[in-house]
A and B are shown apart, each in its own frame.
Chain A
Amino acid sequence: MSDETHIPTDPEVAKAAADADPPEDNRWKDAVREIFSASPWVAVGALVLAFVVGSIMIAFTDSRVQEVSAWFFQRPGDTFSALGSAIGRAYSQLFQGAVFNVAFAERGGFLEGIRPLMSTLTSATPLIAAGLGVAVSFRAGMFNIGGRGQMIFAAIAAGWLGYVWSGLPFPLLLIICVVAGVLAGALWSGLAGFLKAKTGAHEVIATIMLNYIAFYFLQWLLMTPGMLRGVKGTPISNPVPDAAFPLLFGSRYTVSWAFVVSLAAVAFCWWLLNRSSMGFAFRAIGENPRAAKVAGINVERTMVVAMMVAGALVGLAGTQQALGVLASSGFGDAVDAGIGFDAITVALLGGSQPIGVLFAGLLFGAFQAGGRAMQAGARVDISIVAVIQSVIVLFIAAPPLVRAIFRLPQPSQAALARKADAKARAKAAKALAKSGSQDGTKESA
């Protein structure tokens, strides 16, 4: 097939784009196209849509709205005002719970008012770290669903060492525990990478299974005396106050140095992916493993290393849980708190770019912090937050839909070109196979 096929093949789409743009060279237009085609705008679009869907859910579940809609046809105004206040109240509570609380501020001034913001940072801390881990594996062409297992193993390592070596002086113990947790996550994830590289086992299946193994292993450890089972006899690990991340701004806020570690991880990942030879290899096997192989990159080894780096970052999140918010209470079998899965969403929303993951992590941290306030203040179930998060994923997975709704331009030709060849052939073959079925006498001369 000749080179003509590096042209988008969807005539409808191409036609629409052609109608909108005269074919002459236009720098500004191209620039605008570039910007709008970039995934951050799709992410923002998805976010907006998710809030719209969330609003509908809030409206339908609000008891006042249900009540007044009974006489909708008599007094529709009631329904609309009820709708408005329900939605407004919910989102205002979400904001106050996540960023700035007016009531707190009236009582204790500005520093008190930003307490929600600080708890957002606390919630965001492990989300950012785990999101980075998933993003790194994405960039290397792999889908790491094993966040849960990796976090659990990291927490086990950190929690166990933090307890048995609790006599060690402060920064040393913390550092040892963090390193141990990160290594545990790396090894657990590297196992999935190793299985994929050596046997071809799909990493999605492998990581899911490793999740189960990790989860039941943790349960066993928590139930068995002499293992992680706490001295109180409950299936909760022993507290590790000596190994805890110190608070960042004193006891007023919950945010700890773990957040700073997450920020450092963002910087590290940016360097890794954009400036290091290792990251270059990750991206090469992610984009075109065959070309990477021909260029002398050891694809199997790079796969394992990429999964280990990913697991290390997710492990950091597990460590942050065990030595952060749960350090003083000890952790049970829900130590991962669903972060391993939320991390997938965070990475997706962040476009698998470290900076994007940072912002996506902060946003999801805000959802978590704000969601609790929304449930308490506006009596809106916290699962609305989960719905919003899920809808975001749904829309990001369908960028063309988002583009169509917001009339954003198509992505650059290069993006389409990659698929064009295969698509063109598939289409031609399909069309041919069908061809005779419309055996009409149409305009036959």
Chain B
Amino acid sequence: MRLELRGITKRFATLVANDHIDLVVEPGQIHCLLGENGAGKSTLMNCLYGLYTPDEGEILLDGEVVRFAGPGDAQAAGIGMVHQHFMLVPVFSVAENVMLGNEASKGVALDLDAARAKVREIAARFNFHVDPDAIIEDLPVGVQQRVEIIKALSRDAHVLVFDEPTAVLTPQETDELMEIMKQLRDEGAAIVFITHKLREVRAIADKITVIRRGAVVGEASPTSTDAELAAIMVGRAVELSVVKGEPQHTDTSLVVKDLTVTSATGQVLVDEVSFEVKGGEILAIAGVQGNGQTELTEALMGLETNVEGSIRLGGQELVGKSVRQVLDAGVGFIPEDRTHDGLVGTFTIAENLMLDRSDGPPFVKAGAIQIGFRDEFARQKVEEYDVRTQGIHQEVGRLSGGNAQKVIVAREMSRDLSLLLAAQPTRGVDVGSIEFIYKRIVEMRDSGCPVVVVSTELDEASQLGDRIMVMYKGGIVGVVPADTSRDVLGLMMAGIAPEDIAATQAEIAAEAAASDDAVSDAVDDAAPPGDTPSSDTATTGTDETGAAR
């Protein structure tokens, strides 16, 4: 089915989210929609999927104009969407989720068998296994995503939209997803792939359309280099790699020993973690989202209540200290959830810049805020950190992601720091600002401060980190040098220790096995019994996970 969008325009008040966008997606083609966060990609797809009504323009399927009042119409017309945040009911089984909204029935009873058969049939077609009776919340993220795909395919979707599908996946899962997408393409589906990750675009796209500020700014060839793609995306040349010298270690260091964090219900979230970060180096903590990184950073900040073990910063014990005391000890914190944890959206830039120093000098004297000092400070920081704003009295909630993040970076880095803790420092930040934020983080390291960067983006971890620590299920899988290959890091993110990987690879080399599946099979063999990699490192891994149920 050929999809064509003609002159799609969508406005929100004075903001033009989509400005006369034309797009043609041919069957049997993977069409990449590349753009920064906020460029208007998701808005465009929501128009296509019937969630928004475009103000102007039309949607054509095989040359015929269609109008969608809601996602139901879009689905009926053969458009399927795999959302970034899965639209699945966690307590339902796979089959129940697949039939949800499209329930077949036998008399008054639901025809679950039909749904089961459908799940099996589609899964078999793509050579992956999904147990139709598995409960969604028990499944790893990668498998949940497949359920989304099955759901779309079960309704005979000929146009498939993948909205940032790789954000939640390990590198291996990403590779597998790409295989599935290629197979779908070869079957004749028209695929729209939304992303801002350049590597993925080059790996899979047949055609690339770049969107910037709501408008199509050009097409690129899949053979373009990262730098070329980034330049079109941002509109200027971008320094993509992080320039940094050898780490110069200093004496101030962060030593974490046997740190355990448990939830209120007794669940172990961080499991006896020990590591050290020297002054002047960056330790990158990598791992798939939800493997204890968030809790670890919150424990470092004094935000967690059930913490055991020790955190020593320059000899000072931080466990048991309040957030205020941790901040006063010189810990700078860039939280992973900017809008919830980092900023008060309705406060002005100036107010947010003093948010964690609202209890004393220099911002507060004798209980009164020093308005003059505050505003002067804000003006200076807005200038220094290049925050694009109408003024220091603008509400932070109105800033773009990148500019809002710069406000946090400015606030934290303008204190006297003895440790910088940056969680997902560039999530939802435009490429131009990423460059800037990286530079600041490296500057902080070069000033002799220990720096911890938590990131789910492998590229970010490898580029920024002097060493990379990989977390899995609350524990540390290993700490490896920054130049460790993606493959190894990816396996570590699935919980396989680096020693096992090395052993496996040696074995493979010895056997000189040429089989494609050798690596993954071997990996499964290498995994300790009873610890099936739940993020389905390999296709076979999924089989076992599914079969175990």
Contacts and interface: CB of A to CB of B under 8 A. Distances in A.
B475 interface: no
Interface in B28-63: 37-43, 46, 50-53, 55, 61-62
Nearest to B397: A414
B520 to A, nearest CB: 31
B37 A3 contact: yes
**Residue from A293, A298, A413, A435 whose CB has the most chain B CB atoms within 10 Å:** A435
A288 B41 contact: no
B255 to A, nearest CB: 23
Contacts of A106: none
A435 B85 contact: no
7 contacts: A3-B37, A4-B37, A414-B346, A431-B70, A432-B101, A436-B100, A438-B70
Given A11-B52, A23-B15, 14 more contacts: A1-B42, A17-B13, A18-B14, A277-B359, A283-B344, A294-B301, A294-B335, A298-B322, A410-B13, A428-B46, A431-B50, A431-B71, A435-B71, A441-B76
A280 interface: yes
B470 to A, nearest CB: 26
B341 interface: yes
B345 A418 contact: yes
B327 interface: yes
A6 B428 CA distance: 12
Contacts of B333: 294
A121 to B, nearest CB: 30
A330 B393 CA distance: 50
A434 interface: yes
B104 to A, nearest CB: 10
Contacts of B367: 276-278
A39 to B, nearest CB: 13
A226 interface: no
Contact of B341 (A8, A18, A290): A290
Nearest to A299: B323
Contacts of B327: 295-296
The 5 closest A-B pairs by CB, nearest first: A436-B101, A436-B102, A295-B356, A296-B324, A18-B11
Given A14-B13, A435-B71, A443-B77, A288 B87 contact: no
A440 interface: yes
A394 to B, nearest CB: 25
A2 B72 contact: no
B187 interface: no
A335 interface: no
Nearest to B323: A296
B178 interface: no
A4 B40 contact: yes
B316 interface: no
B398 A5 contact: no
A287 B347 contact: yes
B129 to A, nearest CB: 25
Given A276-B369, A298-B322, A428-B83, A445 B75 contact: no
B358 A277 contact: yes
B343 interface: yes
A23 B351 contact: no
B174 interface: no
Contact of B15 (A7, A291, A431, A436): A7
Contacts of A445: 1, 61-62, 64, 66, 77-78
Contact of B11 (A3, A14, A297, A429): A14
Interface string A289-317: 01111111110000000000000000000
B340 A7 contact: no
Contacts of B16: 23
Contacts of A8: 12-13
Contacts of B355: 284, 291-292, 295
Contacts of A15: 11, 53, 55
B371 interface: yes
A7 B17 contact: yes
A281 B196 CA distance: 38
B395 interface: yes
B364 interface: yes
A418 B397 contact: yes
Interface in A2-28: 2-8, 11, 14-15, 17-18, 21, 23
B344 A284 contact: yes
A383 to B, nearest CB: 38
B73 interface: yes
Nearest to B40: A4
Contacts of A294: 301, 303, 323, 333, 335, 341-342, 356
B502 interface: no
Contacts of B55: 15, 18
Nearest to A10: B12
A2 B42 contact: yes
A232 interface: no
A2 B76 contact: no
Contact of B368 (A21, A277, A436): A277
B103 interface: yes
Contacts of B368: 271, 275-277
A323 to B, nearest CB: 29
A287 B103 contact: no
A417 interface: yes
A199 interface: no
A18 to B, nearest CB: 4
B369 A277 contact: yes
B84 interface: yes
A198 B540 CA distance: 50
Given A4-B43, A425-B85, A441-B76, A21 B13 contact: yes
Contact of B358 (A275, A284, A443): A284
B252 interface: no
B164 to A, nearest CB: 6
Given A18-B55, A413-B398, A444 B77 contact: yes
A291 B78 contact: no
A139 B187 CA distance: 58
A412 B398 CA distance: 9
B400 interface: yes
Given A23-B16, A439-B76, A288 B344 contact: yes
Interface in B319-360: 322-324, 326-328, 333, 335, 340-347, 351, 354-356, 358-359
A433 interface: yes
B358 A281 contact: yes
A346 to B, nearest CB: 22
Interface string A267-283: 00001000111101101
A176 to B, nearest CB: 25
B347 A277 contact: no
B171 interface: no
Contact of B70 (A7, A23, A435): A435
A18 B12 contact: yes
Contacts of B358: 277, 280-281, 284, 295, 297
A437 interface: yes
A328 B319 CA distance: 60
Nearest to A7: B12
Contacts of B39: 4
Nearest to A438: B72
B38 A4 contact: yes
Contacts of A7: 12, 15, 17, 43
A428 B52 contact: no
B442 to A, nearest CB: 24
Contacts of B100: 433, 436
B12 A2 contact: no
Contacts of A252: none
B401 interface: yes
A427 interface: yes
A442 interface: yes
Interface string B68-97: 001111011110000111010000000000
A2 B17 CA distance: 13
Given A296-B327, A431-B70, A283 B303 contact: no
Which of B39, B50, B61, B347: most chain A CB closer than 10 A? B347
